[in-house]
Amino acid sequence: MTLPPRATIIEVGPRDGLQIEKQPIPTEAKVRLVDLLTAAGVPRIEVTSFVHPRHVPQMADAEEVLARIQRRPGTKYEALVPNARGIERALTCRVDRIVLFVAASEGFNQKNLRAGREEMLQAAREAARMAREARLPMRGGVVTAFGCPYEGRVPLEAVERVAGEYLELGCEEVTLADTVGVTNPAAVRRMLEHLKGRFPGARFGLHFHNTRGAGLANVLAGLEAGAESFDASAGGMGGCPFAPRASGNIATEDTVNMLHEMGIETGIGLPGLLQAVALAESLLGRQLPGQLLHAGIMNWDAPAA
Amino acid sequence: MTLPPRATIIEVGPRDGLQIEKQPIPTEAKVRLVDLLTAAGVPRIEVTSFVHPRHVPQMADAEEVLARIQRRPGTKYEALVPNARGIERALTCRVDRIVLFVAASEGFNQKNLRAGREEMLQAAREAARMAREARLPMRGGVVTAFGCPYEGRVPLEAVERVAGEYLELGCEEVTLADTVGVTNPAAVRRMLEHLKGRFPGARFGLHFHNTRGAGLANVLAGLEAGAESFDASAGGMGGCPFAPRASGNIATEDTVNMLHEMGIETGIGLPGLLQAVALAESLLGRQLPGQLLHAGIMNWDAPAA
């Protein structure tokens, strides 16, 4: 087991966690959530997305959230952007990095992203051109990299194709997303070994959902195979509110706790992070899947009992 | 990542999962649960325990459960036994293997097992002598091997001491238990490397609780470090009913699903196992932490959507 001394956590709760909530969440509450995450020392936060408000009404206040958050120098604020129109909006705000996204599988692009893969890639190319002109750093998200709800297995070549495009477009990092939470540690390792062989020197991130409980095992495999960043959401927000615990992102606090216990630094303070998780639970009005808030941080030197 | 082609799952739900339930569960229901687990092809089931009924009233029907379950040749039926009186009771039943238990930390023995470590070890020695005379196979459980709620860190030497006793007593296997769910993959690996160096040729099993979400990551580390068996409970039963999801065992179905997806055989059929999980949820009247029942088994060849 070769483990790195540190890993980068990207908090995606304010975007991936909240976007599926039907109930509108007040802008003020979103700002408070981001501010608590900033205060906890989270190094990168995916704050919002510039998608069409008709498709994701919860993110319609993207500009306002970005205008009102309190920034600290140690934190970078990212936003998801699907196309040129999204970049136009992002350029009116202070955004440190944009996140492009295209699914590796044709079915997911068609059914969930409302465009074929080539059309999605073309939109990403246009957005990337504008971002480069504005010197805005980019990362590229490969959606359904480990499996598609419509097509099942996704060939490595399809993932390689999208990852290669991103690197050509100037993305600093490619994030491989297990969008529906079906992957396993062996597949994560195979994927990273393949892509690192194909694109030497490229930086890879991972985006896992804990749908079938293997989220942190996949993180461990990713760490061992050289992934550098891990998307996670406070409390494990995300997924379907009608199937509690069925498909949220991996919980930031459980991920950070495991890494810290292994001696891997994240720069994040757990007590502060748990404040953000508690706020998320109160905003959404339900217990979230993340476990650390309820189990408690183990104090090795002065155990609770 | 060196992974074995197969791993042994020991279902402990009927014992570790049910023992904390305040509401008495009818013997008939326990028998049905074990029968469904048997039918699913689970190779080893910890059916019950021969502890004093005053301490664990839920297990008072141990003899009756063992008398009524339907046995299949592919499954071994185990029972937890603390002392000579427990063995006397076990010897009146058909039990394929007994499980001894002693905590590595003095505080846990004193406060939760009602005897000091030396007294617990002495009771295990007596029980083991009687089991050997009856040619009853044994495994030894090292409770609080990875951390104690009262003492925090547990020295490797304390674990080694108990493990060494078990091996001298003739246990076929030593199971290291993270009783309160505080460990991490790096600690699991260190522990196994240490003990395998100290006791060459000994077989080790692991018993994890998913208290802080790292359960399956710990399984992965254990697989890589040469552990041969993994305790798990259907649905992730166990822990405190007043803190949902706070400290159950790792869920058998999520563990088996991850192993199968990685190409590691268990001999267990997932659809049958999910029937046992559904029964467990209906018996306990609540959704259990295991996720596969609700997320569904991924059908790679014919995806659901």
Task: Test A262 with B289 for CB contact under 8 angstroms.
Answer: no
Options A93, A148, A171, A240, the catalytic residue: A240
Region B252-265: mean pLDDT is: 98
- Give the single-character DSSP code of B52: -
Q: Closest approach of chain A CAs to the CA of B105, in angstroms?
A: 13
Average pLDDT over residues B271-278: 98
- Asked if residue B244 has pLDDT above 90, the reply is no
CB spacing of A224 vs B181 below 8 angstroms: no
pLDDT tens digits along B19-77: 988 889 999 999 999 999 999 999 999 999 999 999 899 999 999 999 999 999 999 99
For residue B303, the model assigns a pLDDT of: 82
User: Residues B263-273: what's their mean pLDDT?
Assistant: 98
| Average pLDDT, integer, range B139-154 | 95
Average pLDDT in chain B: 94
Query: Minimal Cα distance from A295: which residue of B?
Result: B246
User: With 70 as the cut, is the pLDDT of residue B245 above it?
Assistant: no
Mark whether B93 is an active-site residue. no
Four-residue CA torsion sign, A43, A47, A50, A51: positive
Q: Which residue of B has its CA nearest to A183?
A: B261
Contact status, residue B66 vs residue B47, Cβ threshold 8 Å: yes
Q: How far is A214 from chain B (nearest CA, A)?
A: 6
- SS in 3 state form for B150-193? CCECCCHHHHHHHHHHHHHHCCCEEEEEECCCCCCHHHHHHHHH
How many CB pairs (< 8 A) connect A and B?
Answer: 167
Q: What string of DSSP letters covers B109-160? A: HHHHSSS-HHHHHHHHHHHHHHHHHTT--EEEEEETTT-BTTTBS--HHHHH
> What is the pLDDT averaged over residues B237-257?
79
Catalogue all structural domains in chain A, each as residue range(s) with its CATH number: 8-295 (3.20.20.70)
Give me the pLDDT at residue A246, please.
53
The residue written with tokens 């941080």 in the block is: A297
What is the DSSP track for chain A?
----SB-EEEE-IIIIITTT-SSPPPHHHHHHHHHHHHHTT-SEEEEEE-S-TTT-GGGTTHHHHHHHSPP-TT-EEEEE--SHHHHHHHTTS--SEEEEEEESSHHHHHHHSSS-HHHHHHHHHHHHHHHHHTT--EEEEEETTT-BTTTBS--HHHHHHHHHHHHHHT-SEEEEEETTS---HHHHHHHHHHHHHHSTT--EEEEEB-TTS-HHHHHHHHHHTT--EEEEBGGG--S-TTSTTSSPBPBHHHHHHHHHHTT-B-S--HHHHHHHHHHHHHHHTS--S--HHHH----SSS---
Distance CA A245, CA B294 (A): 9
Please judge whether B261 and A219 are an interchain contact, meaning their C-beta atoms are less than 8 angstroms apart. Answer: no
Q: Do B186 and A262 touch (CB under 8 A)?
A: yes
Q: Is the pLDDT of residue B206 over 90?
A: yes
- Note down pLDDT in tens along chain A; length 305 residues: 689 999 999 999 999 999 988 889 999 999 999 999 999 999 999 999 999 999 899 999 999 999 999 999 999 999 999 999 999 999 999 999 999 999 999 999 998 888 999 999 999 999 999 999 999 999 999 999 999 999 999 999 999 999 999 999 999 999 999 998 999 999 999 999 999 999 999 999 999 999 999 999 999 999 999 999 999 999 999 875 554 545 799 999 999 999 999 999 999 999 999 999 999 999 999 999 999 999 999 989 888 65
pTM of the model: 0.97
Letter for the amino acid at B82?
A: P
> Lowest-confidence range among B21-25, B33-37, B184-188, B225-229?
B21-25
Q: Are B218 and B243 spatial neighbours (Cβ–Cβ below 8 Å)?
A: no
Which pLDDT does position B240 carry in this prediction?
A: 58
